[in-house]
Chain A
Amino acid sequence: MYNNTKEYDVIVVGAGHAGCEAALAASRMGCETLIITMNLDNIALMSCNPAIGGVAKGHLVREIDALGGEMAKCIDKTGIQFRVLNTSKGHAVQAYRAQADKQLYRWEMKAVLEREKGLDIKQGIVEGLLIEDGKAVGVKTNTGILYRSRGVILTTGTFLKGLIHIGLINFPAGRAGEFSAEKLSDNLKDLGFEVGRLKTGTPPRLDAKTINFSGLTRQSGDDNPRPFSYSTEKITQRQIPCYLTYTNMETHRIIMENLDRSPLYCGVIKGIGPRYCPSIEDKVKRFPEKERHQVFLEPEGYETTEYYTNGVSTSLPIDVQLKFLRTIKGLEKVEIMRPGYAIEYDFIPPTQLMPTLETKLIKNLYLAGQINGTSGYEEAAAQGLMVGINAGLSTQGKEPLILDRSEAYIGVLIDDLITKGTEEPYRMFTSRAEYRLVLRQDNADLRLKEKGYRVGLVREEEFVRFVNKREGIKREIYRLNKTILKPNAHINKILESMGTNILNEPVTLLELLRRPEITYNKLIQLETIPKSQFLNPDIIEQVEIQVKYEGYINRELEKIGRFKRLEGKRMPQGIDFKNIPGLSTEVKEKLSKIKPVSIGQASRISGVTPSAISILIVYLEQLKRKVTPKSIGRDS
């Protein structure tokens, strides 16, 4: 056993999307940080699809950026096709998605880590935690090195007892071609954690030389690619297309015929897979009436012939994979470079975590990413950023940063995980957010940038730019509200040409902007504003949204007010739920397990009834008065 002499503030185990954000955040906040991973060549590797963003996931990336995380900047530099989704469906659900050059992405992220002063990067396999007085104080590796620290962050992805299935053959691996971490999850179990098992899968990668793209539907990116990051001015790199093809009845016949060789259908796989990302064998079996399924052929980068086959994740044997792929248009002569596979892995059911993602069991131990039962790079990165921030704040002796459900998708994500747990790999959807109209991707900066700045992750010049934008929005709305337009022939003629009602009496510009057919750019045609004073499009967008949807937004803000009042009722630490009179046994057990930090959180635990909440509120008041006896039985 060798003791590494340097003592760290924070050690991050794993360098995937969660680990990278965690390490960068902690280090940038001034913590002596170590990131330790099995293979330095695989930092920030995209294990599955070569893409970032999408609906809800893209929202997460924008929030990560607003808080000072790295993911958005990294994809902006290495994306090879950018698209805005849901453009016809309203601002709250519009989302960014980009294909990435997988290798460039990991190189870029590795370079960012390496440039970070005070961040040590080491290769090694962590086999156990050092625990003293119920606190995590370091890790030990398979080569017998002890690293000591004041906090440990685990971001182990699919590596804990990872077991890959290809047909009925299976073998331990954390990813194709990599070791699994066999000992760490036993160590966690020995420490008293409940450990569960999940499953996920990935499709085969094909060789472009053997694909016939002619006749396939070409999918190009947007003409004006929009960057994820608020700090990126413009996307300048070359954009390349994806292609769309379809499975057919012959494909489905081959799959159905070979289900007896599917580990999924032979009961070999025990872990639960995600419903939103089923294997092709699942899709064919569950929706037999569908005559075809989409297959997106996505390039994995500029300089590679590897193509990702989005839509045909599979764990069928390699010969069956090849056989069914070759029934698909364009893939008649295809060669597989890497086969698809399923992977089972251990996770720590996240109801064992606090809102900071610190474990309830062991102090200063934080978990982020797939170890918490989530799936997706964006979900992982979001958690990684938050544990990095909170481990950092904790070593500084400061209050944690907790985002609630009304502030960010990140808040929804973490609250769902710690309050409800998850049965399948958890993915973010906008439908999970009850305050969706407020949690838009366009206003992530308005919601979060100041918080990112306060913890020290948003750089000064970025923040100044943001404050200017925020002021600009306020000023313009104020101006529109103060500027009164009087009806005259000239104005009414313009209005008529815009297809809107003419004016009979004076109105403010703000009122006019509320008309669905009047955009901001139409509105300023009614004024005489010199071009030099035109506002920047970011400000215009916010003004437009805030004015046009004011009614809906205000209604949501009112709901948020109620929500906040319940969240604001904090549960004192160490409360013994079993001793609260009047609660049913079931409710007591649930509260004891989840240990909610607020009345609001308690109310979201399934099975905790409204009357139980009333009793809790009264009980809290009792406790409060016992501590500070005052105003007892004030008389009128």
Chain B
Amino acid sequence: MFDLTDTISAISTPPGEGGIGIVRVSGPASISIAKKIFTTPKGESLNGVESHKLIHGYIKDPDTRKNIDEVLLTVMHSPKSFTGEDVVEISCHGGTLPLNKILSLTINNGARLAEPGEFTKKAFLNGRLNLLQAEAVIDIIKSKSDTALESAMNQLQGGLAEKITSIRSILINILAEIEADIDFPEEDIEFTPLSSPPLQGGARGGITLQKNLESALTEIGQLVDSYRYGKVYREGVSVVIAGRPNVGKSSLMNALLNEERAIVTSIPGTTRDTIEEGLNINGLTIKIVDTAGIRKSEGFVEQEGIKRTQKAIEGAGLIIFLLDGSEGLREEDKDLIKEIKQKNKPIIIAINKIDVENKNSSEWAGHPSGGWVGEFLKISALKNIGLNELRSKIFDIIYNGHCKTPEGIFITRERHRELLSKSQDSLNKAINAINQNLSSEFIAADLRLSLDSLGEITGETYSEDVLNRIFQEFCIGK
């Protein structure tokens, strides 16, 4: 539950790739947070800094000491700020990456992600907005929450909701065992101390609990780590079109974008650099990348282009490997696909130019040398044939998450990352408590905190669930 004395932080410019983005931090700790992550070129301190004055400097990560972005920072002292509290505004380069990184830094250093409409709410509660404006505050809270917090579970992608539910239920089971042991000492429940091996005959507690705890911890850890992959999702999965020169990669990109973006000629090697464009397929943002065709070449510029192509393939979430249907399968194609397959990424094989002349079509169906072609799509970028099928194939693969974490589940929102890592911290403390042989009430205390954090994601409390679990599992009744 939010607290008015918390220091909150959020990106306050609209999402998208604007030129400038602003991260706003408000609350009693905002200036001390800024001190930790901001430095001026001369290394001056923010102590005694003038209110409402732009200061030029850098945001650095205090852990890695790396500079994140060059920024302008403004401190606004309470009460002369929008919210009436100490406020720090950081204007950085627009684009999701620096903004999110700076937001994460403020949170890792003591702020909490703002709830929808919370800045405005603080402004009103601190007397910075008048009564008429209060109506608007309510509207903001209402409209923003409709799309954010309210149906928390519905907002999560299918896999993630299931994943969190399953972690939660592991934790509830563990907590239920500990709580049963605490609340019903006179019942016929065999329970071994958490740090000792299990008794024979299915006694509870002991190593089994600890193992479950560790597996929950691993799963939460994976989710926290998946934020990196989730980044891909926020910024668009990179779909790379690859193939040997002149199979029609740029034509395909243009066809997908419906515009002349890449230069299209029939001279092999025209595209010497990688070209990126944003594309929206059924509401899914992807980043489509046209690459220079890969072939053995002497030209320096092309060499450079090929290097970039290889880099693009490394960073790809999905590769469209394009073949030329008018020319048939070449040795070069086979070499290339072998190379690309080693990257272990999802691949769509598309045979282009099927409108021209279909050479040797039996050759595609299954190659005698191992049938590597497998499933493929037949398209014509120029004549707009098969492109809808291609789009829906791209959508399927990305939406079903085949191109993310091993399990295809990842988190995309800073709020989720924040809460999951809190939950993770608490679990680590619980394991420490077990290792130090602390009594179960302390282990339970850490587990409860961990569940509190998960509950903030799913909007669920656990107390009744734990009791239900106890009565389901144990025959209580002295």
Q: Give the interface of A toward B (CB within 8 A).
A: 54-56, 85-86, 88-93, 275-278, 282-283, 286-287, 290, 293-294, 296, 310-311, 313, 429-432, 434, 436-437, 516, 549, 552, 555-556, 562, 565-566, 581-582, 603, 609-611, 613-615, 617-619, 621-622, 625-626, 631-634, 636
Q: Given the complex of chains A and B, what is the CA–CA distance between A93 and B444 in angstroms? A: 11
Q: Given the complex of chains A and B, what is the CA–CA distance between A621 and B439 in angstroms? A: 44
The smallest C-beta distance from A420 to any residue of chain B, in angstroms, reads 9
**A552 contacts B445, C-beta separation under 8 Å:** yes
Question: Contact partner of B477 among A86, A311, A581, CB < 8 A?
Answer: A311
**B439 contacts A88, C-beta separation under 8 Å:** yes
**A–B complex contacts, Cβ < 8 Å, 16 sampled:** A85-B185, A89-B182, A278-B475, A293-B477, A429-B179, A432-B463, A552-B445, A566-B3, A609-B149, A611-B145, A611-B149, A613-B2, A615-B138, A617-B121, A632-B127, A633-B128
Q: B478 at the A/B interface (Cβ < 8 Å)? A: yes
The smallest C-beta distance from B82 to any residue of chain A, in angstroms, reads 9
Q: Given the complex of chains A and B, what is the CA–CA distance between A90 and B178 in angstroms? A: 13
**A565 contacts B4, C-beta separation under 8 Å:** yes
The smallest C-beta distance from B192 to any residue of chain A, in angstroms, reads 12
The smallest C-beta distance from B331 to any residue of chain A, in angstroms, reads 62
Within 8 A of A (CB), among B104-130: 115-118, 121, 124-125, 127-130
Question: Contact partner of B182 among A86, A276, A562, A610, CB < 8 A?
Answer: A86
> B445 contacts which chain A residues (CB < 8 A)?
436-437, 552, 555-556
> B2 contacts which chain A residues (CB < 8 A)?
610, 613-614
The smallest C-beta distance from A71 to any residue of chain B, in angstroms, reads 20
Question: Contact partner of A293 among B5, B128, B186, B188, CB < 8 A?
Answer: B188
Q: B442 at the A/B interface (Cβ < 8 Å)? A: yes
**A90 contacts B440, C-beta separation under 8 Å:** yes
Q: Given the complex of chains A and B, what is the CA–CA distance between A296 and B321 in angstroms? A: 75
Question: Contact partner of A430 among B1, B183, B437, B475, CB < 8 A?
Answer: B183
**A633 contacts B138, C-beta separation under 8 Å:** no
Known: A293-B188, A432-B463, A618-B121. 9 other contacts (CB 8 A): A296-B478, A310-B478, A429-B179, A431-B182, A549-B442, A565-B5, A582-B141, A610-B145, A636-B81
Q: Given the complex of chains A and B, what is the CA–CA distance between A88 and B188 in angstroms? A: 17
With A86-B185, A89-B441 known as contacts, the answer to whether A611 contacts B463 (CB < 8 A) is no
With A290-B475, A311-B477, A610-B2 known as contacts, the answer to whether A431 contacts B149 (CB < 8 A) is no
Question: Contact partner of B131 among A313, A610, A613, A626, CB < 8 A?
Answer: A626
**A582 contacts B436, C-beta separation under 8 Å:** no
Query: How many A-B Cβ pairs are below 8 Å?
Result: 162
**B125 contacts A621, C-beta separation under 8 Å:** yes
**B1 contacts A93, C-beta separation under 8 Å:** no
| Nearest A residue to B4, CB-CB | A565
Q: B150 at the A/B interface (Cβ < 8 Å)? A: yes
> A622 contacts which chain B residues (CB < 8 A)?
131, 134
**A294 contacts B476, C-beta separation under 8 Å:** no
Question: Contact partner of A582 among B139, B179, B440, B471, CB < 8 A?
Answer: B139
> A91 contacts which chain B residues (CB < 8 A)?
441
> B476 contacts which chain A residues (CB < 8 A)?
275-278
With A276-B471, A432-B463, A582-B138 known as contacts, the answer to whether A609 contacts B145 (CB < 8 A) is yes
With A290-B475, A296-B478, A614-B118 known as contacts, the answer to whether A609 contacts B185 (CB < 8 A) is no
**B188 contacts A618, C-beta separation under 8 Å:** no
Q: Which of A294, A549, A556, A636 has the most CB of B within 10 A?
A: A636
Within 8 A of A (CB), among B429-478: 436-442, 444-445, 448, 459, 463, 466-467, 470-471, 475-478
**B128 contacts A287, C-beta separation under 8 Å:** no
Q: B383 at the A/B interface (Cβ < 8 Å)? A: no
Q: Given the complex of chains A and B, what is the CA–CA distance between A615 and B475 in angstroms? A: 44
Q: B80 at the A/B interface (Cβ < 8 Å)? A: yes
Question: Contact partner of A89 among B3, B127, B137, B440, CB < 8 A?
Answer: B440
> B184 contacts which chain A residues (CB < 8 A)?
55
| Nearest B residue to A294, CB-CB | B188
Q: Given the complex of chains A and B, what is the CA–CA distance between A92 and B5 in angstroms? A: 29
The smallest C-beta distance from B205 to any residue of chain A, in angstroms, reads 12
Question: Contact partner of A55 among B117, B145, B182, B440, CB < 8 A?
Answer: B182
Within 8 A of A (CB), among B1-54: 1-5
The smallest C-beta distance from A577 to any residue of chain B, in angstroms, reads 14
Question: Contact partner of B125 among A93, A552, A556, A618, CB < 8 A?
Answer: A618
**A614 contacts B121, C-beta separation under 8 Å:** yes
The smallest C-beta distance from B156 to any residue of chain A, in angstroms, reads 16
**B183 contacts A429, C-beta separation under 8 Å:** yes
Q: Given the complex of chains A and B, what is the CA–CA distance between A226 and B184 in angstroms? A: 20
> A633 contacts which chain B residues (CB < 8 A)?
128-130, 133
Q: Given the complex of chains A and B, what is the CA–CA distance between A335 and B10 in angstroms? A: 74
Q: Given the complex of chains A and B, what is the CA–CA distance between A631 and B84 in angstroms? A: 12
Q: Given the complex of chains A and B, what is the CA–CA distance between A93 and B183 in angstroms? A: 8
> B437 contacts which chain A residues (CB < 8 A)?
516
> A615 contacts which chain B residues (CB < 8 A)?
138, 141-142
The smallest C-beta distance from B424 to any residue of chain A, in angstroms, reads 17
With A276-B471, A614-B115 known as contacts, the answer to whether A562 contacts B439 (CB < 8 A) is no
**A93 contacts B182, C-beta separation under 8 Å:** yes
> B357 contacts which chain A residues (CB < 8 A)?
none
**A431 contacts B463, C-beta separation under 8 Å:** yes
**A286 contacts B475, C-beta separation under 8 Å:** yes
With A565-B4, A618-B124 known as contacts, the answer to whether A276 contacts B442 (CB < 8 A) is no
Q: B407 at the A/B interface (Cβ < 8 Å)? A: no
Q: Given the complex of chains A and B, what is the CA–CA distance between A636 and B116 in angstroms? A: 25
| Nearest A residue to B142, CB-CB | A582
Question: Contact partner of A618 among B81, B138, B181, CB < 8 A?
Answer: B138
Q: B162 at the A/B interface (Cβ < 8 Å)? A: no
Q: B332 at the A/B interface (Cβ < 8 Å)? A: no
Q: Which of B139, B448, B466, B475 has the most CB of A within 10 A?
A: B475
Q: B375 at the A/B interface (Cβ < 8 Å)? A: no
> A634 contacts which chain B residues (CB < 8 A)?
79, 127-128
The smallest C-beta distance from B239 to any residue of chain A, in angstroms, reads 37
**A603 contacts B1, C-beta separation under 8 Å:** yes
**A430 contacts B182, C-beta separation under 8 Å:** yes
> B63 contacts which chain A residues (CB < 8 A)?
none
**A429 contacts B138, C-beta separation under 8 Å:** no
> A582 contacts which chain B residues (CB < 8 A)?
138-139, 141-142
The smallest C-beta distance from A417 to any residue of chain B, in angstroms, reads 14
Within 8 A of A (CB), among B61-92: 79-81
The smallest C-beta distance from B161 to any residue of chain A, in angstroms, reads 17
**B142 contacts A611, C-beta separation under 8 Å:** yes
The smallest C-beta distance from B52 to any residue of chain A, in angstroms, reads 9
The smallest C-beta distance from A155 to any residue of chain B, in angstroms, reads 26
**B471 contacts A631, C-beta separation under 8 Å:** no
Q: B298 at the A/B interface (Cβ < 8 Å)? A: no
**A618 contacts B439, C-beta separation under 8 Å:** no
Q: B187 at the A/B interface (Cβ < 8 Å)? A: yes
With A86-B185, A603-B1 known as contacts, the answer to whether A93 contacts B149 (CB < 8 A) is no
| Nearest A residue to B150, CB-CB | A609
**A276 contacts B477, C-beta separation under 8 Å:** yes
Q: Given the complex of chains A and B, what is the CA–CA distance between A437 and B444 in angstroms? A: 10
The smallest C-beta distance from B6 to any residue of chain A, in angstroms, reads 9
Q: Given the complex of chains A and B, what is the CA–CA distance between A615 and B115 in angstroms? A: 12
Q: Given the complex of chains A and B, what is the CA–CA distance between A37 and B335 in angstroms? A: 96
Question: Contact partner of A621 among B116, B134, B150, B182, CB < 8 A?
Answer: B134
With A313-B477, A430-B182, A432-B463 known as contacts, the answer to whether A621 contacts B187 (CB < 8 A) is no
| Nearest B residue to A312, CB-CB | B477
The smallest C-beta distance from A588 to any residue of chain B, in angstroms, reads 13
> B186 contacts which chain A residues (CB < 8 A)?
54, 85, 296
Q: Given the complex of chains A and B, what is the CA–CA distance between A294 and B474 in angstroms? A: 13
| Nearest B residue to A625, CB-CB | B131
| Nearest A residue to B437, CB-CB | A516
> B115 contacts which chain A residues (CB < 8 A)?
610-611, 614
| Nearest A residue to B187, CB-CB | A294
**B131 contacts A431, C-beta separation under 8 Å:** no
Q: Which of A290, A431, A437, A625 has the most CB of B within 10 A?
A: A431
Q: B339 at the A/B interface (Cβ < 8 Å)? A: no
